[in-house]
């Protein structure tokens, strides 16, 4: 039987728990890592070579450690009992009803995990919040754990993830920083150092930041809020660029060259998506409102408002450019994932644009290399309440295509909504030849060669980019 110097359990086998624990196991072969989940389907996928999520490099990491010191199981009790450190990495969605609906995070799953730990544990544990949680969630978890009737002691830490989907493995292997928050007591400091020792197997100690619990919890929300703020800021300028025939990419390059500003997250687009940005900003907004900081709440809420405006603005541009009607017209949707190199569709801007086009009774042909039809329809229903009841004939109105060429055939327009690299190198002459004329292309990611497309014959419209005929008129 293998001897391990430490045993870790992770509750939750999703986008954060699975990849994070796989990298921990890879980098720490003397630590046993067990990822548990109530979903047999999810665990079965992790134990196969068709993982439940797509992330470049993830399969190779899992294959290296799985069966050696990385295990995926539905036997939750056994994993919790033997673990020295337990990570809680479960979903904390925005509440849809009750107090704080639409803003506050629902931490029900975190509480249920804490109750399960208190129920089955037979020894003292270090419990780590990996889920993104509101400030002072650790206090609630600590109270639940302290209610155990076995005299056990638990230390609660916060260790937020700072992963970008599509580069998660690189982010885990060479993180810019690891943040660990704990109680400022002797026992709390000891627990923090125990977790530090795990990461120190591959992360330089100076990149492991330790803080108090509340600073750590709040840092994750603030980090995502600042990143989203940059996206909404440049997107607001894209609207002004279109009105004045300036070029948003030239502006991004000009201001990004200032070292005080930097170039990251200054790429204008149809809008940000994913599970983190909007959820965390709304959580921050609710937190500010709870403390009576209404002006602060309004400031951060405007970041979300601008993102909604950008998505709606793109949809309206499509309709207006296509002679103010898309009813019955076939439109090719290039990309449904919220960004390239991931299969994640949560809060994807593509879904919002599709919803707007469906409201106009357009016919959609969607192609994404990593998104299945079932997953697309789950996102439609969960986030936007787009289903067969709200959109009659939905199944017939939305076609999923095997490739970009099939999606474009017979279409009146192409909408590029995810920045997959393959969309840059398609044979656009072939696409154009197969489409109805005039053939429109709407670039929501500014990844195409617009001049070359216009030479082919496309009518091209893009986010924050000048339109030659209108620029000539202004001149």
Q: Which residues are catalytic?
A: 276
The 3-class SS string of 382-405 reads HHHCCCCCCCCCHHHHEEECCCHH
Residues in CB range of 271: below 8 A, 6 or more apart: 231, 235, 307, 308, 310, 311, 314, 349, 352
Classified as helix, coil or strand, 322 is: coil
Structure tokens at 342: 């991931």
Contact 380, 354 (CB under 8 A): yes
What are the backbone dihedrals phi and psi of residue 331, each rounded to the nearest 5 degrees, phi first? -125, 125
Instruction: Report the distance separating Cα 420 and Cα 423, nearest Å.
Output: 6
Instruction: Report the distance separating Cα 460 and Cα 451, nearest Å.
Output: 9
DSSP E strands in 54-150: the ranges are: 70-73, 85-88, 125-129
C-alpha count within 13 angstroms, C-beta hemisphere, residue 234: 31
The burial of 64, by beta-carbon neighbours within 10 Å (0-12 exposed, 13-18 middle, 19 or more buried), is given as middle
């Amino acid at each position: 039987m293998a001897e391990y110097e430490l045993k870790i359990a992770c509750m939750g086998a999703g986008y954060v728990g699975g990849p994070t624990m796989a990298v921990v196991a890879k980098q720490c072969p003397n630590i046993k890592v067990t990822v548990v989940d109530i979903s047999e389907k999810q665990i079965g996928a992790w134990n196969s070579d068709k993982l439940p999520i797509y992330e470049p490099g993830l399969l190779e990491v899992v294959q290296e450690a799985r069966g050696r010191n990385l295990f995926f199981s539905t036997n939750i009790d056994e994993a919790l009992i033997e673990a020295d450190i337990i990570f809680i990495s479960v979903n904390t969605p925005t509440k849809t009803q009750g107090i704080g609906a639409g803003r506050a995070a629902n931490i029900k799953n975190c509480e249920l995990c804490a109750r399960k730990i208190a129920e089955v544990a037979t020894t003292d544990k270090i419990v780590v919040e990996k889920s993104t949680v509101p400030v002072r969630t650790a206090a609630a978890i600590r109270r639940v754990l302290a209610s155990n009737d076995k005299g056990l002691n638990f230390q609660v830490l916060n260790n937020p993830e700072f992963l970008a989907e599509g580069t998660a493995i690189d982010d885990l292997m060479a993180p810019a920083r690891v943040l660990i928050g704990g109680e400022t007591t002797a026992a709390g400091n000891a627990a923090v150092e125990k977790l530090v020792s795990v990461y120190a197997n591959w992360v330089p100690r100076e990149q492991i930041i330790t803080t108090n619990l509340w600073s750590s919890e709040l840092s994750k929300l603030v980090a995502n809020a600042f990143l989203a703020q940059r996206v909404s800021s440049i997107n607001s300028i894209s609207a002004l660029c279109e009105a004045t025939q300036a070029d948003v990419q030239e502006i991004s390059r000009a201001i990004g060259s200032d070292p005080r500003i930097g170039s990251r997250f200054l790429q204008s687009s149809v809008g940000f998506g994913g599970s983190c940005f909007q959820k965390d900003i709304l959580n921050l907004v609710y937190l500010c409102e709870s403390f009576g900081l209404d002006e602060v709440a309004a400031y951060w809420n405007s970041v979300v408002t601008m993102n909604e405006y950008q998505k709606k603005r793109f949809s309206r541009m499509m309709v207006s450019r296509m002679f103010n009607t898309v009813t019955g017209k076939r439109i090719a949707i290039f990309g449904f994932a919220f960004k390239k190199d991931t299969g994640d569709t949560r809060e994807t801007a593509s879904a919002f644009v599709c919803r707007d086009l469906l409201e106009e009774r357009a016919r959609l042909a969607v192609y994404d290399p990593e998104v299945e039809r079932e997953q697309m329809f789950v996102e439609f229903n969960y986030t936007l309440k787009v289903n067969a009841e709200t959109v009659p004939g939905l199944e017939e109105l939305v076609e999923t295509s095997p490739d970009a060429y099939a999606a474009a055939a017979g279409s009146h327009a192409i909408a590029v909504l995810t920045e997959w690299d393959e969309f840059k190198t398609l044979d656009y002459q072939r696409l154009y030849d197969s489409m109805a004329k005039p053939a429109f292309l709407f670039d929501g990611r500014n990844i195409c060669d617009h001049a070359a497309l216009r030479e082919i014959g496309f009518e091209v419209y893009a986010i924050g980019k000048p339109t030659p005929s209108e620029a000539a008129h202004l001149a």
